[in-house]
Amino acid sequence: MKKIVFFLLVSVSFWSCKQESQNSSTLPTTQRTTVPISYAKGFTITKHDNHSVIEIKSPWPKAKKSFNYVLISREEAAKTTFMKEAYDGIIITPIENIIVTSTTHIPALELLNVEETLRGFPGTDYISSEKTRTRIDSNAVRELGKTEGLNTEVVLDIAPDVLVAFGLDGKNKALETIKKANIPVIYNGDWMEKSPLGKAEWIKFFGALYNKEQQADSIFNRIQTDYNDAKKLALNTTKKPTILSGAMYKDVWHLPNGESTEAQFLKDANANYLWRNTKGSGSLSLNFEVVYDTAKDADIWLSPAYYRSKAELEQANTHYSNFDAFKNNTIYTFANTAGRTGGVTYYESGMARPDLVLKDIIKICHPEVLPDYTPHFFKPLK
């Protein structure tokens, strides 16, 4: 562990060290206020007198350290000296231009009405939002290549106030190059959350970047209320339809584990997921015979991988047609709900709007509970 204490003076350009020492002040010891986070486990926000600190606890599986970022206004940054080497970035707020790297980040920008600050994205075809697609078509959002190998030349040309990254293992060389160019890189670990509402609560992360904490809190509270109200309606029903999920890939059937977010949705929808008692938050890998013996009579088959029709499903494996859900036309998928360039809407908006995902599943399992509701993501497989 390094023993050297270094000083980082943040000027108007927030990386310059030209400010005279007599015109700057070190961060004072102030009373800290922790922003309430109800469900998310992967980040905290601590507010001080003239700045905030975001701690990212779990940016990827088995991360060995947490990451700390200072959020401070340009005016305060011009007169403040930071003496702690523990900070992984100094970010000037509010953000005026941004690069994000996951489609799950797009809904937060749009919910906060700051989508016009988005300047670049890796794999723009994956974005399904029509509002952001319009900006892509007008070249307001530039293509950055692949997440694993970002086009650093374009990133440096954009010169964003911050790049919001997600990492699988923290070994992205392109991100290291971007950091060396004095562009702050902040990790977002929304995908690591174990609960639907925990993932949605990451809108507070973006609220802090844009000084829109109250708006983010209000948006999340509405989502939380709608989710819990729908859950109460479902729990009042007496019938629990049995649920099969997933499909085969290279002779292995992949389906959600009993402690996964997908299983939580099914539990809150008052459905009987046939693998609800398994342990773990990832996916199960089973052979066909085990799945068939357990779920051949299942009432509903949800999310059969990327198959877009029953014909595709049967062509991939004729044994699929032996399931009751196949015979009874009770297979539902989100694969057919996509943007005009093919981006699947569920993968973009589902994490931000778990209330809509839950209502979709309730509509499938208990249609009488939400008679006037039209599903957003899940549609019958035809």
* Cβ atoms of 137 and 127 closer than 8 Å: no
Provide the b/e sequence for 14-30 (b: ≥16 CB within 10 Å): beeeebeeeebeebeee
Reported confidence tier of residue 166, pLDDT bands at 50, 70, 90: confident
**CA 99 to chain CA mean position, Å:** 15
User: Would you say the C-alpha torsion 47, 48, 49, 51 has a positive or negative sign?
Assistant: negative
**Is the separation of the CB atoms in 128 and 369 below 8 Å?**
no
Reported as half-sphere exposure (CB side, CA atoms, 13 A), residue 118 has a value of 33
What is the mean pLDDT of the segment spanning 254-278? 97
Could you give the domains of the chain? 1-93 (no CATH), 94-189 (3.40.50.1980), 223-380 (3.40.50.1980)
- More confident of the two residues 171 and 86: 171
pLDDT of 40: 97
Let me know if 357 is exposed, middle or buried by CB neighbors in 10 A (0-12, 13-18, 19+).
buried
Instruction: Work out whether strand 162-165 and strand 149-150 pair parallel, antiparallel, or are unpaired.
Output: unpaired
Residue 14 pLDDT greater than 60, yes or no: no
Tens of pLDDT, residues 268-307: 999 999 999 999 888 999 999 999 999 999 999 999 998 9
Residue 83 pLDDT:
61
**CA dist., res. 120 & res. 122, Å (int):** 7
d(CA 251, CA 286): 9
pLDDT of residue 86: 65
The mean pLDDT of 184-204, rounded to a whole number, is 96
Residue 302 pairs in a beta bridge with: 245, 332
Full DSSP string of 290-335: HHHHHHTT-SEEE--TT--SHHHHHHH-GGGGGSHHHHTT-EEEST
Kindly state the tokens that stand for 223.
Answer: 């989502």
- Single out the residue of 201, 196, 224, 223 nearest to residue 213, CA to CA: 201
Among 296, 301, 328, 326, which residue's Cα sits nearest to residue 245? 301
- Give Rg (Cα) of the chain: 23
Higher pLDDT, 237 or 146: 237
What is the pLDDT at residue 58? 86
User: What share of the chain has pLDDT > 70, as a percent?
Assistant: 91
The 10s digit of each residue's pLDDT in 324-369 is 999 999 999 999 999 999 999 999 999 999 999 999 999 999 999 9
Q: Is residue 267 pLDDT above 90, yes or no? A: yes
Please tell me the predicted confidence (pLDDT) of residue 213: 96
Task: Give the per-residue pLDDT at 169.
Answer: 80
pLDDT at residue 120, as a whole number:
98
Tokens of 25: 């002040």
Q: Is residue 93 predicted with pLDDT exceeding 50?
A: yes
- Please state, for a pLDDT cut of 90, what percent of the chain lies above it: 82
Residues 6 or more apart whose Cβ sits within 8 Å of residue 290: 253
What letter represents residue 200's amino acid? A
What pLDDT score was predicted for residue 339?
93
* The dihedral sign for the CA sequence 206, 103, 132, 357: negative
109 or 3, greater pLDDT? 109
Whether residue 24 has pLDDT greater than 50: no
Residue, of 7 and 66, whose pLDDT is higher: 66
pLDDT at 21: 35
The pLDDT assigned to 30 comes to: 59
CA distance 337 to 238: 30
